[in-house]
Structure 1
Amino acid sequence: MSANTLRAEPATLGTQYVETDHGAAARPAAPRHPSLTTTVPREFVHRAGVAEVMLTGWERADERRFAVSAQWPRGHIFFTSVNGCHDPLIAAETLRQIGSLLAHAEYGVPLGHHFLMWDLSLTVRPEHLLVGGAPASLDIDVVCEDVRMRRESLAGLRYTTVMRRAGQVVATGGASFTCMTSKVYQRLRADRLDGAGPQLALTAPTAPQNVGRVSPTDVVLTPVGRPDRWQLRVDTRHPVLFEHPVDHIPGMMLLEAARQAAVAAVDEDAMPLSITGEFSRYAELDTPCVIEARRLPRTDQGEVVQVSGRQDGEAVFCSTVTVAAPGA
C-alpha cells in the first residue's frame, strides 16, 4: 500500500546530541506529535477557502481502491443541521470533493483543468448523522469503477463511496465526471467567457420556513405563483454556493434547489434520505431557470419527489429526492 495520507510535519522542537564514531553530533529531536490532522490542499478539491475543504487525507489501497478521510464541523454557515443531524448535502459536497482530489492527486490531472459532473447520487442513514459533541470524523472507502483515459491522460471516471463514522455507515453514493484542459474549456465556453449576457437581477426568496431554511440568503427558490414551480434564485455573492467565481451555476446549487423544492412539496421539516442528480448541460447565469417539483408514489423509504430544471425550454438537470417527515 502506497500511503498518500496528508500529514503535517511538525517543526523541530529541540536538538539532542548523540555519540557517533566521530564524536558528538547534533540531530533533530524525534517529533513529539508524529501525526497531526490537516486538510488536503484546497486546490485539489476546487475550493478557494480552506474552511470549505472537507477532506483530511487519502491513501491508495490498490489500483482502483482508495481510503479517504474527512471531517464535518458541528456547525456550518450553510450546511446547517436538520433535526439534530448533519446536513445530508454536506455528504454530497464531500462526495464531490473526493472525485477532484483523486483526479489530481492519483490520476495526474493538472491543476487548472476543468471538470464536468454528469451525475451524483447519495443515500444517508440519519441515525448515524446526529451532531455530537465534536466534529464528525469520517473514513471513506472509494472505488473507481470506470476510469477512462485519453492519450495517457484521465478523461473521466465514475466512483462509488461508503462513508463510515466510528465504524457505522453514514452514507453511500457515487458520481461521475469528465475533465478537460483549460484550452478545450475555453473553446467550449467561448460564448460565455467572452461576452456573456448580463447577469439576471436577484429575485426575491420564497419564505425560508417553507423550504427548510432559516435565513433568506440561503433560499435558492423564487415563487412564481404556483406551489409546484419556482424560478431558481441565483445569488452569486453567496459565500458557499458561489465560493469562487464561475461562469455557470454550480451543480451543488442545483442539488440544493432540488432539496428545497422537495421539502416544499412534502414538509418543511422533512429530512432528505436520498438524492440523485443528473446534469444534462451547463446551467447558465444569464437565463432564468425554472424549477418544477412533482410528487411520485410513496415508497417504504419515504415520500419521493422528482425535481427538474429547465432553461429556454431545455432540460438542465433532473433530480429525485426521497424525504422522511419527522417521526416517520
Structure 2
Amino acid sequence: MITTLEPTVLTTPTPAEHCACQAQTDNRLATTVPRALVHRAAVAEVFLTGMCRIAEDRFHIKAQWPRGHSFFAPVAGTHYDPMLIAETIRQVGAYLAHEAFDVPIGHQFLLWSLEYSTVPEQLAMGEAPADLDLIVTCPEIRRRGNRLTALTYEVVIRQGDRVIATGRVGYTVTSPAVYQRLRAKQLSRQPDSVLGPAPVAPAEVGRLSPFDVVLSASCGPGVWQLRYDIRHPVLFDHVGDHVPGMVLLEAARQAVTIGAEAGVMPVTVRSTYQRYAEFGSPLWIHAEPASADLGGTAARSIRVTGVQDGEQVFEAVVVTEPVGTVASLL
C-alpha cells in the first residue's frame, strides 16, 4: 500500500545546536558545498550547504531551497515543487560518498531506487528561502576492503520543528576503470538531443516553456515518447553517456500531471531503475492507474514505466494530490 507522509507520526532527534553546520547557518556563514561533490556543474543547482557526522552511519546535512527556480517552479505559485525533494536527496548520496566515505571524484554512481513522500501543506512557500535540516541514516553500507561499493540511505527533511518530507535512495559505485570497460561503446558515442514530435503543451505538465517538456504529443492513451534537449541547463547540467535518472523521474512527474486538475502535486514517488536509458534510441513512457488504497481521498496513484528497445528501463509509482487552498505554514 502506498501512503503519504504523516508528519505528526514521524519523529527524529533534532540536530545538536553546537554542530558546525548549524553554527555556520546561525552566523549566516553557510555557503553551498563544492559543486563537484554533488555532481553538478552549476553552483546555482547546488542545494546542500554543509554536513556534520553524528555517527558512522548518521549525518546532519543542511540545505536551502530557493523561492524561485528556473525549472523547479512553484506549483500553483504557492508551493515548492516536490521534485526539489528528489534532487536534494539525490545530492545527499553523492555528497556522502565523497565527503564521508572517501569515494574519489570520477567514480560512477548507478542509481537503483529513489523514493520520497510529503504532503502539500508542508511545501507551502514562505517569505524567505527554506532553510532545511536533513537527518540521514545509512541502513546499508557495503564495502570491498576500504572502498564503498553500495549505499542505501534514508533522509528525514525538517524545516524548524516540522517534518516536511522523507526519502530513501539506493545506489552502487563503480571505479572509472570498471565503468570504462562496461560502457566503452556508449562512451565513444556523441550524445545528442531527441526532440521528435511536438511536445505536450507546457501547461498540461506543470511547466512554463516547451523547452522544459520531456514528453512528445501522445502516441495513444497513456503513451508518450521521451524527448529532451541536452542543452537544458538543469536536466542536463552536465552531459554523460546516458539519460540521467532525474530526467526519467521528471517524465514520470509530467505523465501523471496530464489530464489532472491544475496544481496537482506528486506527493509520493517510489521509483526503481533497471537499465541505463541510452542516447540514440526511442524511449517510450507509459502511464496507467496503479492499485493502491488511498483512503477515499482526492489522491490518485499512477504507475509509470519507461521502455527502450523492448526492455523496461525504470518504473515509478506516483501518488498525486491537488494543492487545494491551504494557508502558508512557512
Do these two structures clear the TM 0.5 threshold for a shared fold by scoring above it?
yes
Q: 156-165 or 218-227: which moved more?
A: 218-227
Q: Which has the larger radius of gyration?
A: 1
| Corresponding residue of 2:12 | none
Amino acid paired to 2:40:
R
Query: Would you say the 8 A contact 1:157–1:178 is kept in 2?
Result: yes
How far is the alpha carbon of 1:271 from its aligned partner?
1.5
Q: How many residues align?
A: 304
When the two structures are superposed, what TM-score results if normalisation uses the length of structure 2?
0.87
| Corresponding residue of 1:296 | 290
Which blocks of at least 5 consecutive residues in structure 2 are unaligned?
A: 1-15, 326-330
| Corresponding residue of 1:97 | 91
How far is the alpha carbon of 1:202 from its aligned partner?
4.7
| Corresponding residue of 1:210 | 204
Amino acid paired to 1:303:
R
Q: Does 1:37 align with 2:35?
A: no
| Corresponding residue of 1:306 | 303
| Corresponding residue of 2:120 | 126
Amino acid paired to 1:55:
L
CA distance in structure 2 between the partners assigned to 1:57 and 1:3 by the alignment? 10
CA displacement 1:90-126 (0-9 Å, x = unmatched) = 1110000001101000000001111111000000122
- Aligned 1:53-202 pairs, distance under 5 A: 53-83=46-76, 84-195=78-189, 200-202=194-196
How far is the alpha carbon of 1:314 from its aligned partner?
0.2
CA distance in structure 1 between the partners assigned to 2:218 and 2:258 by the alignment? 14
2:314 to 314, 317, 322: 317
Q: Does 1:233 align with 2:233?
A: no
Partner SS, residue 254 of structure 1? helix
Partner SS, residue 145 of structure 1? strand
| Residues 101, 198 of structure 1: alpha-carbon distance in 2 compared, 3 angstrom cutoff | closer
Partner SS, residue 217 of structure 1? helix
How far is the alpha carbon of 1:172 from its aligned partner?
0.3
CA distance in structure 2 between the partners assigned to 1:6 and 1:110 by the alignment? 27
| Residues 195, 77 of structure 1: alpha-carbon distance in 2 compared, 3 angstrom cutoff | closer
1:253 to 247, 255, 262: 247
When the two structures are superposed, what TM-score results if normalisation uses the length of structure 1?
0.87
| Corresponding residue of 2:268 | 274
Structure in which a larger fraction of residues adopt strand: 1
| Residues 267, 245 of structure 1: alpha-carbon distance in 2 compared, 3 angstrom cutoff | same
| Residues 202, 237 of structure 1: alpha-carbon distance in 2 compared, 3 angstrom cutoff | farther
| Residues 43, 130 of structure 1: alpha-carbon distance in 2 compared, 3 angstrom cutoff | same
Which blocks of at least 5 consecutive residues in structure 1 are unaligned?
A: 9-32
| Residues 218, 71 of structure 1: alpha-carbon distance in 2 compared, 3 angstrom cutoff | same
Amino acid paired to 2:49:
T
| Residues 156, 256 of structure 1: alpha-carbon distance in 2 compared, 3 angstrom cutoff | same
The percent identity for this pair of structures is 46
| Corresponding residue of 2:5 | none
2:258 to 244, 257, 264: 264
How far is the alpha carbon of 1:230 from its aligned partner?
0.1
Amino acid paired to 1:166:
G
Q: Which has the higher contact order (CA 8 A, sep 6+)?
A: 2
1:48 to 38, 41, 55: 41
Partner SS, residue 252 of structure 2? helix
Partner SS, residue 256 of structure 1? helix
Q: How much is the aligned-residue C-alpha RMSD, in angstroms?
A: 2.1
Query: Would you say the 8 A contact 2:307–2:313 is kept in 1?
Result: yes
CA displacement 1:72-91 (0-9 Å, x = unmatched) = 00000001111311000011
Amino acid paired to 2:56:
E
CA displacement 1:103-154 (0-9 Å, x = unmatched) = 0000000011111110000001221211111100000100011000012100
CA distance in structure 2 between the partners assigned to 1:191 and 1:7 by the alignment? 48
Amino acid paired to 1:58:
M
Q: 205-214 or 91-100: which moved more?
A: 205-214
